[in-house]
Amino acid sequence: MRNLVPFSLELTDAQTSVSFPARRPSLIAFVKEDCPTCREVMPVLGALREACGDELDCLVIGQDRGGNRMLMSKHGFSLLDDSSLKVSFAWDIETVPTLVRADAQGRFTSELIGFVRDEWKALAADVGAGDDTLEGRVDWSKLPAWRPGCGSKSADPIIADRLRAESENSPLRARKIEIGQYDDEFEFMFDQGFSDGLPLIPPTPERVIRMLAGTSRDPQDVVAEVPPNLGPATVEKVAINAVMAGCRPEYFPVVLAAIEAVCNEQYNIHGVMATTMGASPVLVINGPIRHRIGMNMKLGALGQGNRANATIGRAVRLAVRNIGGAKPGGTERSTLGNPMKFTMCFAEWEERSPWEPLHVERGFRAEQSVVTAYTASSGPALMVDQDSRTASQLAGSFGLALESIFATKAHYATDTLMVIVPEHVDTLKRDGYTKADIRRRIQAVSSRPISALLANDISATGFKAEFAVGKSEAELARLIPKFRRDEDIMIVVAGSEAGKFSGAFHGWATGAIGSVPVSKAIDPWM
């Protein structure tokens, strides 16, 4: 049963308003000029208006002011103006013409959609237009037996999103910012400090409504409290930032999960964004959603050119900036900055890997979609080895390259996220190397005696001189690997089939004083 919402509409090109309900039965027709069926039934609607007299309101509502004028000029009677489409939307009109009958209290009794000649003739007789069913006023024989209607303008997806955003039941609650008629909306967003330095997509209500269609969560659910200001990140506010970043609605579940991950206390997003070292989140996506939203995990996976990769990472940065208040010059104090602060998000090429993907290693099921947030201070730094033909050699090259993170003497200082490319994968696979084997080889190759890691005249980096006080020669000869734990070496597969250039993201401070990688399952709504 259709919900008949009361309304008051002006006659087209007149200052007279007509209200519904009006304490008598009504016939309400919705039409638009560019619908052939609507043009065909206009004479019938005109005859109904004449025949019904004062006992029945016969209201014809047009959906376009210019079209209304054309119909009025040709058929000689006035149309109510619903060019705003708010009544059509409130009444859930999907097809025009739609002819609705209501009783004196404005309650729905019946409707006709499109045109079926026998149904319209029966209605004409039933509403009191005479047993002649408008005979003499309408030549029914010249009308088709049946004709479908057209889509209502209020059902157009783009228009419908705007109408939903403007309706009384709109899910949007965020403060709306009105800008001047002649203000440039792009420049306005720069001036307000919403931007990361690149242009933003204006978050109009209809765009935010479309973004919210990407999740089943209530728009007012709080996803997280975002440091440093502990701003409540509602689903709606995250959607606003996802729109500004250029996301599509199908990316939105990934953005929501990523916000949950980086705002987890263990991840420590406040420290990540505030450190002078210039750290930034790196998002790795696993599971079926990679393919569903068209993420890049192959050629150029860590670079530009893929909308999902670029905008998901950017949406998270914008949310931390605009909801949490982390802005350069404020709490964000990076000495040099970092291009990853714009975006860094990619998918693992699980199908090209002989090993368990990252999310399975971290306790999730293979069929789950998961985002893992890692903190990098720099990268991806290339690990170039075009000559090694054995897994032991290649993993040894990785170890030598990773020893340079921070400084060669900076052992136990951080972690790393390795991105191994397919050609290197094939070399490792031939010798049956597992991820555990790769990690052990890296640790063995990068191990150095404590005595070689002490601060000295060449470099003050490393263990301080007092660390060696009281230690025997045997103790100082003890080998220490680059990483405190093998698990501090995270490994994923991505990149082009051609090229022996794997990459490594250099980490930041680890553990309780720094950032711990966090993984979150992605809502399977999409």
- In this prediction, residue 465 carries a pLDDT of 79
Percent share of the chain, pLDDT over 90: 78
Q: What mean pLDDT comes out for the span 337-343?
A: 94
Q: What mean pLDDT comes out for the span 58-65?
A: 94
Please report which confidence band the pLDDT of residue 157 belongs to, taking 50, 70 and 90 as the band edges. Answer: confident
Residues 175 and 83 in one domain: no
Assess whether pLDDT exceeds 90 at residue 224.
yes
Query: What would the pLDDT profile of 237-279 be if each residue is shown by its tens digit?
Result: 999 999 999 999 999 999 999 999 999 999 999 999 999 999 9
Cβ atoms of 464 and 486 within 8 Å: the answer is no
Q: Helices 235-245 and 205-212 sit at what angle, rounded to 10 degrees? A: 110
Assess whether pLDDT exceeds 90 at residue 466.
no
Q: Estimate the share of the chain in helix, then strand, then coil, as percent rounded to the nearest 5.
A: 35, 20, 45
Please report which confidence band the pLDDT of residue 133 belongs to, taking 50, 70 and 90 as the band edges. Answer: low
- Tokens for 298? 């192959």
- Tokens for 252? 């939105």
CATH code of the domain containing 45: 3.40.30.10
**Where in the sequence is the domain holding 126, given as residue range(s)?**
7-155
Helices (H), 368-445: 391-402, 422-430, 435-445
Q: Which of these ranges, 173-182, 301-310, 451-460, 482-491, has the smallest mean pLDDT?
A: 173-182
Assess whether pLDDT exceeds 50 at residue 17.
yes
- In this prediction, residue 137 carries a pLDDT of 79
Residues 64 and 128 in one domain: yes
- In this prediction, residue 14 carries a pLDDT of 84
The Cα 255–Cα 130 span in angstroms is 62
Q: Is residue 448 part of a domain?
A: no
Assess whether pLDDT exceeds 80 at residue 52.
no
Choose the final residue of a domain: 290, 321, 340.
340
Half-sphere exposure of 375 (CA within 13 A, CB side): 28
Residues 170 and 55 in one domain: no
- In this prediction, residue 128 carries a pLDDT of 61
The Cα 372–Cα 219 span in angstroms is 24
Cβ atoms of 427 and 394 within 8 Å: the answer is yes
- The per-residue pLDDT of the chain, averaged, comes to 92
Choose the final residue of a domain: 272, 307, 340.
340
Q: Is residue 366 part of a domain?
A: no
Q: Is residue 314 part of a domain?
A: yes
Please report where in the chains the tokens 């004709």 appear, as a residue: 147
Domain count, the chain: 2
Residue 449, preceding peptide bond in cis (omega within 30° of 0): no
Q: Is residue 184 part of a domain?
A: yes
Assess whether pLDDT exceeds 50 at residue 526.
no
Q: Is 75 exposed, middle or buried (0-12, 13-18, 19+ CB in 10 A)?
A: middle
The Cα 246–Cα 256 span in angstroms is 15
Q: Helices 235-245 and 252-262 sit at what angle, rounded to 10 degrees? A: 110
Continuous segment of H or E residues that includes residue 243:
helix 235-245
Choose the final residue of a domain: 340, 373, 392.
340
Cross-strand pairs, 376: 280
Query: What would the pLDDT profile of 320-336 be if each residue is shown by its tens digit?
Result: 999 999 999 999 999 99
Strands 146-147 and 115-116: antiparallel
Assess whether pLDDT exceeds 60 at residue 470.
yes
Q: What mean pLDDT comes out for the span 481-486?
A: 97
Residues 165 and 284 in one domain: yes
Cβ atoms of 213 and 173 within 8 Å: the answer is no
Strands 95-96 and 150-151: antiparallel
Strands 26-31 and 7-10: unpaired
Q: Is residue 251 part of a domain?
A: yes
Q: Which of these ranges, 151-160, 397-406, 411-420, 480-489, has the smallest mean pLDDT?
A: 151-160
The Cα 411–Cα 355 span in angstroms is 27
Residues 151 and 36 in one domain: yes
Assess whether pLDDT exceeds 90 at residue 141.
no
Assess whether pLDDT exceeds 50 at residue 353.
yes
Helix (H, G, I), strand (E, B) or coil at 382: strand
Query: What would the pLDDT profile of 492-519 be if each residue is shown by its tens digit?
Result: 999 999 999 999 999 999 988 899 999 9
**Sequence-ordered list of residues with C-beta below 8 angstroms from that of 181, at least 6 positions apart, any chain:** none
Mark residue 489 as left, alpha or beta (left: phi above 0; alpha: psi -120 to 50; beta: remaining). beta
- Tokens for 518? 């966090």
Residues 175 and 123 in one domain: no
Cβ atoms of 358 and 372 within 8 Å: the answer is yes
Q: Is 185 exposed, middle or buried (0-12, 13-18, 19+ CB in 10 A)?
A: exposed
Residues 221 and 77 in one domain: no
Q: Is residue 348 part of a domain?
A: no
Q: Is residue 61 part of a domain?
A: yes
Cα 397 to the center of its chain, rounded Å: 39
Helix (H, G, I), strand (E, B) or coil at 420: strand
Q: Is residue 371 part of a domain?
A: no
Q: What are phi and psi of 192, to 5 degrees?
A: -80, -5
Residues 50 and 171 in one domain: no
Residues 245 and 114 in one domain: no
Residue environment code for 354-367, b if the CB has 16+ CB neighbours within 10 A, otherwise e:
ebebbbbbeebeee
Residues 129 and 236 in one domain: no
Percent share of the chain, pLDDT over 70: 97
Q: What mean pLDDT comes out for the span 382-407?
A: 97
- In this prediction, residue 169 carries a pLDDT of 62
Residues 112 and 180 in one domain: no
Residues 200 and 103 in one domain: no
Q: Is 373 exposed, middle or buried (0-12, 13-18, 19+ CB in 10 A)?
A: buried
The Cα 320–Cα 260 span in angstroms is 11
Among the listed residues 293, 275, 299, 312, the one whose alpha carbon sits nearest the alpha carbon of residue 514: 275
Cross-strand pairs, 519: 372
Assess whether pLDDT exceeds 90 at residue 176.
no
